[in-house]
Amino acid sequence: MADNKAILKVGDKEIELPILSGTAGHDVIDIRSLGANGYFTYDPGFMATGSCESSITYIDGAKGILLHRGYSIEELARDADYIEVVYMLLHDKTPNTEEYRDFKDTITRHTLVHDQVNNFFRGFRRDAHPMAMLCGTVGAMASFYHDDLNIHDPEQRLRSAYRLVAKMPTLVAMCYKYNIGQPFVYPTNKLSYAENFLNMMFSVPAEDYKITPAVAKAVDRIFILHADHEQNASTSTVRLAGSSGANPYACIAAGVASLWGPAHGGANEACLNMLEEIGTVDRIPEFIARAKDKDDPFRLMGFGHRVYKNFDPRATVMRESCHEVLAELNIDDPLLNVAMELERIALSDPYFAEKKLFPNVDFYSGIILKAIGIPTNMFTCIFALARTVGWVSHWHEMLSQPGQKIGRPRQLYTGEAQRPYTKIEK
Ligand code: SDX
């Protein structure tokens, strides 16, 4: 880290603040000494705040670069599989063939959930939103893994991480099966991670589910594209929850809750609903006009990003996958035509160029998931499934850093100055 400094002049004071440099990306101004000098920084929404030091994922918003442990998302989506990406996010190295085989076997053998978990679902309405059920059941997993858990033991942290990565597909599939009134399907150890998920989602007792390799590959790629993304809202939620020493299952449940919002992981569900509301290409201009109208809260779901200001590299890969899956399944989905035309019009409109709005990771994923037969209300659960490895990797990294402190932001207080209280009877 470079040893240069920033000088903050406040009144007659000059406060020296160290500037720290990482491997790549923005330098940061270390403002930790400001409190002692009587000041806080103020940055609602964290537009320019680095909350931590991390070596897991690097994003360059201007250049559309996304690296996981230094490897580009394009290469990983093309040449790796999700289990390899999980291994490297957790272990900061790519596995050799033996490590891969052992790790894949470890994950496979943790896919079963305690049979008591089935009972949690009985309390939900049949039409409960799957994200509500996922939030509840992931948090409930803390009741099965708490007493013997020492989060300061890296081996036990990794064991929690493996369990969460392994069990999320099972829980997500259970949410779907509960919604449609079909029996839960147990994990099958002879299948790959993505194949096993598809089998738990779509097989029924009366007949075996035939896995289409292209579909399993597309699902595995969707998992890779959603695996991690630096300090996004849900990952920051997991870090803040974990900073108090909370149970990792409870922390991941908090991440699921944060991801649910339509501004974040809920955008894939909202995007497909928007495409269905648009319906036909000729109605696109009406929605473009609404997106530009300051008085209309409508936003183009699946467009825009806090960090990417030119393009989201994941959307580029997702778009290619979208075409491959629809061709493989011989589906001519009019929504894809609407999506492609919406993208073309938006990207040629000066307003969107000026606001730096373009398709993000959520824009095309919904079309692939719909083509596979996954209902719209399940899309964010798929995102949560895939992002679990990112959440647990950041949780594990945070707790492995020396001097880790509880996250405790301050505020700009604009309430009443102290005033005397008058008893209610007076
Ligand atoms: C994810 O952080 C991550 O990394 C997230 C994620 C991950 O992998 O974890 O990448 C996943 O959450 C992707 C984003 C999914 N969300 C959506 O697609 C929902 C639609 N997008 C927006 O809500 C918005 O673009 C955000 C939330 C993604 C980003 O919002 P910012 O950075 O806070 O930007 P902003 O809301 O301040 O918008 C800047 C301007 C505004 O106009 P002005 O007030 O300056 O006039 O752009 C406009 C906004 O009105 N704008 C949009 C728009 N997004 C922003 N206008 C129309 N449609 C949109 N989608």
Mean pLDDT of 187-214: 95
- Tens digits of per-residue pLDDT, 216-261? 999 999 999 999 999 999 999 999 999 999 999 999 999 999 999 9
Task: Provide the token pair at 360.
Answer: 């993000």
From the list 129, 305, 394, 396, the catalytic residue is 305
Q: Is the CB of residue 61 less than 8 Å from the CB of residue 309? A: yes
- Express as a percent the part of the chain with pLDDT over 70: 99
> What CATH architecture is 74-404?
Orthogonal Bundle (1.10)
Mean pLDDT of 83-93: 97
- Whether 5-50 and 74-404 share one fold: the answer is no
Q: Is the CB of residue 272 less than 8 Å from the CB of residue 335? A: yes
Would you list the domain boundaries of the chain?
5-50, 74-404
- Tens digits of per-residue pLDDT, 329-380? 998 888 888 998 998 988 899 999 899 898 998 998 988 999 999 999 999 9
Interatomic CA distance for residues 270 and 253, integer angstroms: 21
Query: What is the number of the ligand 1 atom nearest to the C-alpha of 363?
Result: 18
Q: What is the CATH number of domain 5-50?
A: 2.20.28.60
Known catalytic residue: 30? no
Q: pTM, whole model, 2 decimals? A: 0.95
CB atoms within 10 A of CB 105: 11
Report the pocket of ligand 1 as residue ranges, CB < 6 Å: 229, 232, 263-265, 267, 291, 299-307, 355, 357, 360-362
CA–centroid distance, 110 to ligand 1, in Å, is 37
- Express as a percent the part of the chain with pLDDT over 90: 89
Task: Provide the token pair at 131.
Answer: 């994200």
Who's near 44: CB < 8 A, 6+ residues apart? none
Q: Is the CB of residue 191 less than 8 Å from the CB of residue 211? A: yes
Interatomic CA distance for residues 16 and 12, integer angstroms: 13
Known catalytic residue: 362? yes
Nearest CA to ligand 1 atom 55: 304
Q: Determine the Cα angle at 321 with ends 283 and 287, to 5°.
A: 15
CA–centroid distance, 297 to ligand 1, in Å, is 12
Q: Is the CB of residue 222 less than 8 Å from the CB of residue 367? A: no
Nearest CA to ligand 1 atom 35: 306
From the list 129, 362, 394, 396, the catalytic residue is 362
